[in-house]
Amino acid sequence: MSEKKTETTMLIAGFVFGNEAEAEQAKKEAQGVAYIKNKTDMDNPEMVLHIYNKMIQQKLFETAVGYAYLKDLQDYLQSIPFIRKEDILPIPVQHPSLVQSIKRRERQKPAQKPKAQTVEKHVNYKQKYRVTRAVSIILGICVVAMFAITATTNNTTILNYENELIDKYEAWEQELNEREAALDARELSLPAGTE
């Protein structure tokens, strides 16, 4: 572990840090890596997998020093044939300065939204009104035409179905009455003995 401090950059475990807080974090992680290496039995891959997954779940590392160690462990575990690849968790990378930069950008985005909204307010409402009015007039003409067609058509519809049936039955009744009267007149005209 080489440590070198200059005015602008700090070298920790082969990585250069421009921020003193990150360099301190990297130094702590380098010490943690050294401790884990001393205490871990690398001849027991199942124990290495358990420790690796535990470090991933606890998000112990935030700097390149810790990520490099996790990547070494991950490569080692992937080379073991009896360890399933699905059991080896991926390394989540979250850099604090990057997170702060993203948060700053997200805070700045709401300030930009009103500009976009003001552009949308200049919509051509006259054009929309003309289109809506034209569609309404066409639909109104269609409704009036449908009523006119319904009123002038002789076809039976739901509206005049009952009247059509009544007229039909009255015509049948009148025809039957005429036939009955004709039959009665015929019976009377026949001589009484010819029945």
Nearest to 46 by CA among 72, 8, 84, 13: 84
Instruction: State whether 146 and 174 are in the same domain.
Output: no
28 within some domain? yes
39 DSSP β-pair partners: none
Mean pLDDT for 30-42 is 80
- Confidence at residue 142, expressed as pLDDT on a 0 to 100 scale: 95
Mean pLDDT for 162-170 is 84
**Cβ 29 vs Cβ 62: under 8 Å:** yes
- Confidence at residue 137, expressed as pLDDT on a 0 to 100 scale: 97
Instruction: State whether 133 and 75 are in the same domain.
Output: no
Which structural domain, as residue segments, surrounds residue 185?
A: 161-195
| Whole-prediction pTM | 0.45
Q: How many distinct structural domains can be found in the chain?
A: 3
Instruction: State whether 165 and 145 are in the same domain.
Output: no
Instruction: State whether 134 and 185 are in the same domain.
Output: no
- Confidence at residue 158, expressed as pLDDT on a 0 to 100 scale: 67
Q: In angstroms, rounded to a whole number, what is the distance separating the alpha carbons of residues 62 and 69? A: 11
15 within some domain? yes
184 within some domain? yes
